[in-house]
Structure 1
C-alpha cells in the first residue's frame, strides 16, 4: 500500500444523500425476561421460533460451513450466489444488536420470501451507496433473477449455515471496530473457489493476524492526518484496509476522513471489498476498480468517472421518484377535497 495523489479534490461530500428508511424491516426486538426461564418444550411442526442457535465461529470454520452447505445442496458453479447470501446477511443487521429476534425471523421465511428479503438489502444499500453496490453486483444481482429449484434450496441451506455460525453477531454491532474483527467475504470466497482457480488468479488469502502485523509494521509510527490517501493495487476483499482502518481508529481518527483506493483483478474480490467497505464503515471517500494493475496500470481515474456517473444516475432516479410521490400525494388531496365537498 502507498499514498497516491488525490482524486477526490473536486468531490463535495456535502452532497451525500439523506438516509432513507428501509422498505423491508425485521420485526421489532422481543424483550427477554430478567429471571431464568425453564427449558422450552419441543416446538410444534413448522414452528421455527426456537430453532435459532448460533455461535461465533472463526473465519475458516465459517467459510467451510458456507461452502459445504452450497455444494452439498448442489447449488451449482455460480459461487457469487452463496457469497452474496453471506454479504446480504452481513449487511442486513448493521447497527442492530438483536441477532436472536432477527435470526428467528429469517428462519421463518419461505425460500421465495428469503430471496425477496435479500433483494431488499440490495435496494436499501444501493440508495445509500450506489458507488459501492455498483461494484458489489456480482454478489447481489442474483437476488433479482429467477433461480432454479436447486439454487433456491441451496440459498436456504447457506442461510442456515451462516446464521448458525454467527454472521449476525459478527456484523450487527453499531460499533464499526467491532464489525471489523474479521473479513467474512474473504473467508467465504476462499472456501468456495477451487484451488486451481485461486492459483490461476494468483489469489491467496492473507490471514487477518498477518494483516494486523503488516499494518502496524508499515504505519505503526505514522502520524495520521485527515486527508491522507491509501492505495492497495492488489486489494482482494480489502483485508489490509480492515487492519489499517482499525489502526486509524486506535489513533483517535475517523476512517471517513481518509481516502481508500482499492484495485484487484478479480471481480468477486472487488465486490467483496465493496461490501466490506460498508460493513467496516470506511466512509464516503472510496474508489474501487477491477483490473490487472500490471497490464492496465492504475485505474483510479476511470473509477472516479464511473463513481460520479453512478451517483448521478442514482440522484436522477431519486428525483423522479420524489416527483411521482408528490403527484400521487396531490391527487389524494384533491380526491379528499372532492369527497368532502360532496
Structure 2
C-alpha cells in the first residue's frame, strides 16, 4: 500500500494525472526489471540515476523484451506500452521518471524483485488507487483484497485436490488476477506447480487485463494463460474468441521472427559479397600494378 500510495501521489502531482495507463505502465515495467541483466549490483540506484529520456528508453527495452519472450501476451499488454512508442513529449517523460523514482524510493524492487511478489498484487492496488471513486462505482469494479482472496482459495481447495496438470482455473471477472495469485499460492503450498495448469480470465477493463498479463509472469503462472477483454455476462463463449485471437497473434509473431531471420541472412550475404568483391578488386589492382 505504501508503494502504491507513493506512485499515485507522485503521478497525480503531474499534469498527466488522467493517464492511468502511463502510471500503471511504470510500476509494471519496474516489476519486470529484475529479469534484465543491467550489469549493476544496485538496480534501484542505476534506475534512479537515469535521465527521463534514458529511463523512457529503459521502459521500451523492458516491454520489447517481454514481447519477444512472450508474443502471446503482446495484444494484452499493449495498453501499457502503447504510449512508449508514440514519441512521448518531454513533460510526460519527466512525470514518468518522477513517478518511477517515487516507487523506487518506496522500495518497490524489494517487493516485486523478490519472492515476496507471490504474496501480493501491487498492480491491482495501484490501479484501484488511480481510479476515482465515481469511476469505480460506475463500473462496479471492486477488487478482492489479498487476505480475502487467500482465505477463499484455501477454503475452496480444503476439501478437494488443488488443480493438477492439464486442468483449468477460470475467473470470469479476473481484474488484475488476485484470485489467480491466491490459487497459485495454495497450489505451491500443496507441492504443485502453477505453471502446469491453464489460467482463463476475463474482465471489461483492458488495463486490468494488461496488469493481469504482467502478473502472470511475476507469479509464475506459466505459458497457458488465456485472458480476454470482454463482458462475460454478454459473451459467455469468450474463451473461444480469446483462444483464436491468441493463436493469430502467435502465428503473426512467428512470421515476423522468420522475416527478421531472413532479413538478417540477406544482410550477412550482402556483407560477405561486398568483402569478396573488395578482395577481388584489390587482387586485380595488384596484378595490374605488376
Give the TM-score of the pair, scaled to structure 2. Answer: 0.91
1:157-209 deviation digits (Å, cap 9, x = unpaired): 11101111222222224xxx543121111011011110111111111122111
Q: Give the stretch that moved more between structures: 102-111 or 143-152.
A: 143-152
CA drift of 1:247 comes to 1.2
* Higher fraction of helix: 2
Q: 1:189 to 1:64 in 2, by over 3 A?
A: same
C-alpha separation in 1, matches of 2:192 and 2:103: 32
The residue number in structure 2 matching 1:133 is 74
* Preserved CA contact (<8 Å) 2:144 2:178: yes
The residue number in structure 2 matching 1:184 is 122
The residue number in structure 2 matching 1:222 is 160
The aligned length equals: 280
* Preserved CA contact (<8 Å) 2:8 2:130: yes
Gaps of 5+ in 1: 1-59
Instruction: Find the partner of 1:286 among 225, 229, 236.
Output: 225
* Preserved CA contact (<8 Å) 1:211 1:243: yes
Runs of 4+ that moved beyond 6 A: 95-99
User: Secondary structure of the residue that 2:226 maps to in structure 1?
Assistant: strand
* Preserved CA contact (<8 Å) 1:73 1:153: no
Q: 1:133 to 1:167 in 2, by over 3 A?
A: farther
1:76-130 deviation digits (Å, cap 9, x = unpaired): 3111100000011111213879986211221222211211111111211111112
CA drift of 1:339 comes to 4.2
* Preserved CA contact (<8 Å) 2:40 2:46: no
Q: Give the stretch that moved more between structures: 117-126 or 305-314.
A: 117-126
The residue number in structure 1 matching 2:141 is 203
The residue number in structure 1 matching 2:91 is 150
* Preserved CA contact (<8 Å) 2:7 2:103: yes
User: Secondary structure of the residue that 1:205 maps to in structure 2?
Assistant: coil
Structure showing greater Rg: 2
CA drift of 1:298 comes to 3.7
1:117-147 deviation digits (Å, cap 9, x = unpaired): 1111121111111222311111111111232
The residue number in structure 2 matching 1:104 is 45
Q: Give the stretch that moved more between structures: 90-99 or 307-316.
A: 90-99
The residue number in structure 2 matching 1:36 is none
The residue number in structure 2 matching 1:51 is none
Q: Give the stretch that moved more between structures: 98-107 or 76-85.
A: 98-107
* Preserved CA contact (<8 Å) 2:29 2:59: yes
Gaps of 5+ in 2: 283-290
C-alpha separation in 2, matches of 1:95 and 1:144: 20
* Preserved CA contact (<8 Å) 2:169 2:198: yes
